[in-house]
Chain A
Amino acid sequence: MRKISIGVIGLITLLSTSSHILLAEDFKEEDLLLSLENEMQEVEKHASLSKQNIDYKPYIVTVLHHKNLTNLGIMNLREALKLVPGVDISVGMMGVTYPVFRGSNSYSMGQSQLYINGIAVNDAIFNAYYQYLDMPVDIIERIEVVRGPGSLLAHEHAYGGSINVITRTADPLNETLSTNIFTAIGENDYRFIGAQSLLKQGEWFIGADVYYQESDRHSFEGPDMFGHSREAYFNNENYALSLNVRNENWNIGGRFTSQITGPSYGQMFSLSQDKTDTLDIKTNIFYTNYTTSIASKTELKISAQYVDQHRKLQNKTIHDGESMMGNTFTNGRYFYVDYKERKLTGFIELQNNSFEYLNLIAGIKKIRTTNEQDEASMTAPDGMMMPMMYKSLLPNARYRNISTFYGEATYAPSEVASIAIGFKYDQISDHDNKLSPRASAVYMLNSNNILKLMATRSYKLPSWRDQYFFKVPQNESAVSTEDVDSYEFSYIYKNNNDDTFRFNVFHLKNSNQVEVHPVSKAFTKIYDSTINGAEFETKLSLGSSNKLSFNYSYADGTVDGSDDAIPNSAKEMATLTNVYRFNDKITTGTTIKYLGDKVRDSLDTREDLEGYTTWDQSVKYDNYNKGYSISLSVQNLLDEKYYLPAVIDTYVNDFTQPGRNVWLRFEKRWN
């Protein structure tokens, strides 16, 4: 055995250096074979990281790659998510948007988890990650979207779904040293500029990206809850900077993001009179991960993560000279918020595969989130000298501690079958302890046909707003965790590496869904629901190498104990994309998206919201040899009028979405 090892080491060394002196026939067969098998294992590791072999893993996943996104003229993360089957976008106060998975509770922001390079970034106050949705695809290598409560990260869990964004400079598989600059202009005074670079210094890869973008969209909206109809401002200024340093074992980095947006539809169902109103969110992420082999076939992972957020709001909620509850506001009323939170996460994970056919993962994780500051104030009515001050809007949300123990065992007795059982046990400082078990099986009928079965119980913690805002302590238990029992089946037909057909069926049993109570306007546990659905996805080669991608999803959700459908969720969605290559330089990309009708809340007397179809078209000229590309994108080519739903008894009409939009983008690369 020792002889073989020495031979293999020698062979590997020879294969990876230029000073070769031996011929293939001089090596023993065992050495050559072992060298090939080692390489196959290395490739397997990379395939797991890049999600290349995801069709054989027990999850329902869509992976969106940088190249395909840019070919389709997609500009940012929010637009990219619309390509995923069963994913819709909803909108809340101040125009804050968030994805909704599989027709689930469209009022809840934390249905999905966002990870940036594996770091969970949802905040505690809203369970949201709005400030990252404008992240440009120029800095994104791939987006891994898991539908359902399974998560690709053993130490994390999801509820409706999870999104992991891998940036190009932090991708552990990216060893292509390059520097890129990119810029774009578009309608609504859209301007974008950014750059990224990956360098190598000894064993270390050093990557950085930076971007700035702004736009000035506005549209006429209303009437709002106070009867005003007027221009709503969606101006947006977003910039970010990140640095990532890694070698084979270490990964250290940080990301700063700033998002400053206009008043949009307003904070309190009131369209603002003041164009200078802003929602200003600044976040910092710092992390370090260390992975090492501590024994034969045993790997240790240690991670420490820090995420903070500073949120400031200025919103004019009452117009000049108007009255409320007998008080007159000659100069209107402004609402201000100054909020800070901080989250520290650490975990240790062991992975062992020393038993034949068995892979074991076990870990512990601690999270501490603290409310650092939540001050709010409102300007005073006429005759009062002092404004109204709130030292704390969330007086009982001082901190939340979560201690987790998790484990997973995967038994794969052959190349065609595997069974996995996992669990996560959480101790939560302001909720009951939670156990989230998961079982799954994958079976390959042959090289073309794969079957998967998955059963998961998971939950979602209420955001601090849902749990504590405007509530006296004794009522806090009215909002508990939202729970889900999920059963999923997936059939995959793979003809070759490009042609794939996927069919998924799912049954979701959601309990304790939180929503704003129609009368009290407080966040309350309102209903349980059941969602049955199916998803169909295919990538087809038409002709010699023509590729077409199509998906259709159906989600039939009803409120338990009634015949009411889940409000504001489209039952049907479909997307067609095509990348048409005229030659090796010119590419056109087409995206056609359909969203079905959305029913209203049972107490809402308005007509159901009609479905819509949009067509986006782009053309790209990419000169690979000279290292530049220019692309022109037209979004909503047919200028379709479509709307996102406004909650009952707030705005009379729904929220108008952007019409036709034209963008021009340029990228220059240096390798």
Chain B
Amino acid sequence: MKTFMKILVLSLLIFSFSHGAEYDKSLLKAHAKLIPKIMLLDQSLKDKLIDGKVKILIAAESKDEQSAQMIAQYIRDIYKSKLLKYPLEIVFQDAQKLDMNVPASAVYLLSLPKNEMKKVLDYIDKKGVISFVYNLDGLNQGALISIRLETKTTIYFNRSSWNSGTIKFRPGFFKIVKSYE
């Protein structure tokens, strides 16, 4: 056990500087299926079109580009790059290099360091669009929606981050979501 403890301490020292999230492929796929359908429940989606297109920004760190591209591809495959009549565009955005002028209809956030998360959420706030976040604890930082696979599929909704002026959910939406306190 002593040897184990020595190696454990050594490895913790090494890894305390390490980075790199591993994303669950099946959870990304589930998010890819549900996010566009939730967007359709926003009655003001039309106001968020970018050049007539629905544009979803996947905000992530550069080292997570592979996972960002994976969920982007899942959405394209499932929806054949169209959401009803609207052409659907999904783009990866390096959170560190986020330009406040980049337009988006909605934003999906992978795991981000606090400062970058704040930067992206400020951007979302400014744009008045829906934010979806991979991890539930992203709601604590101000994101609007996160989806978890519990006994049932649960859509968590962070009411305190909801800008009802720009996001007009249909009333039935509130019957299927769970409020996140």
Contact = CB atoms under 8 A, between A and B. Distances in A.
A581 B46 contact: no
A547 B26 contact: no
Interface stretch (B63-71, B121-129, B159-167): B63-71
A410 to B, nearest CB: 10
Given A545-B113, A580-B20, A497 B45 contact: no
Task: State which size class the interface on A falls in.
Answer: 35 or more
B7 to A, nearest CB: 5
Given A43-B153, A544-B19, A544-B114, A173 B7 contact: no
B66 A615 contact: no
B100 interface: no
Q: Is the interface of A mostly helix, strand, loop or mixed?
A: mixed
Contacts of A219: none
Interface string A594-637: 10100000000000000111010000000010000000000000
B89 to A, nearest CB: 14
Given A415-B150, A415-B152, A584-B63, A14 B84 contact: yes
Contacts of B21: 498, 541, 545, 547
B19 A418 contact: no
A558 interface: no
B102 interface: no
Contacts of A545: 19-21, 61, 64, 111-113
Interface in B108-124: 111-114
Given A43-B153, A572-B1, A581 B20 contact: yes
A14 to B, nearest CB: 6
A335 interface: no
A20 interface: yes
Contacts of A67: 22, 25
A56 interface: yes
B53 interface: no
Given A546-B15, A579-B20, A40 B84 contact: no
Given A15-B79, A29-B170, A496-B135, A43 B33 contact: yes
B101 interface: no
Contacts of B36: 15
A365 to B, nearest CB: 27
A463 interface: no
A314 B66 CA distance: 51
Contacts, number: 219
A42 interface: yes
Given A47-B26, A611-B1, A32 B41 contact: yes
Contacts of A581: 18-20, 63
B15 A36 contact: no
A415 B4 contact: no
A18 B82 contact: yes
A18 B46 contact: no
B146 to A, nearest CB: 8
A37 B154 CA distance: 11
A490 B170 CA distance: 39
Interface string A50-72: 10110010000000010110010
B20 A587 contact: yes
Contacts of A15: 36-37, 79, 83-84
Interface in B13-62: 14-22, 24-27, 29-30, 33-34, 36-38, 40-41, 43, 45-46, 61-62
Contacts of B37: 15, 32, 35-36, 39
B151 A53 contact: yes
Nearest to B30: A43
A43 B149 contact: yes
Given A17-B80, A46-B29, A447-B156, A497 B134 contact: yes
A612 B8 CA distance: 14
Contacts of A42: 33
A553 interface: no
B176 interface: yes
A24 B40 contact: yes
Nearest to A544: B113
B16 A53 contact: no
Given A498-B135, A543-B19, A584-B64, A36 B176 contact: yes
A574 interface: yes
A614 B130 CA distance: 48
Nearest to B41: A32
B152 A40 contact: yes
Interface of A: 14-18, 20-25, 27, 29-30, 32-33, 35-37, 39-44, 46-47, 50, 52-53, 56, 65, 67-68, 71, 173, 412, 415-416, 418, 442, 444, 447, 494-499, 541-548, 572, 574, 576, 578-584, 587, 590, 592, 594, 596, 611-613, 615, 624, 640
Given A447-B150, A580-B18, A640-B3, 16 more contacts: A16-B78, A23-B46, A25-B46, A39-B37, A43-B33, A44-B152, A415-B151, A447-B154, A546-B18, A579-B22, A580-B14, A581-B19, A581-B20, A582-B20, A592-B11, A613-B3
The list of the 3 closest CB pairs from A to B, nearest first, reads A581-B20, A544-B113, A496-B135
15 contacts: A18-B82, A29-B41, A32-B41, A33-B176, A36-B38, A40-B153, A44-B153, A444-B151, A498-B22, A542-B15, A544-B19, A546-B15, A547-B21, A578-B18, A582-B20
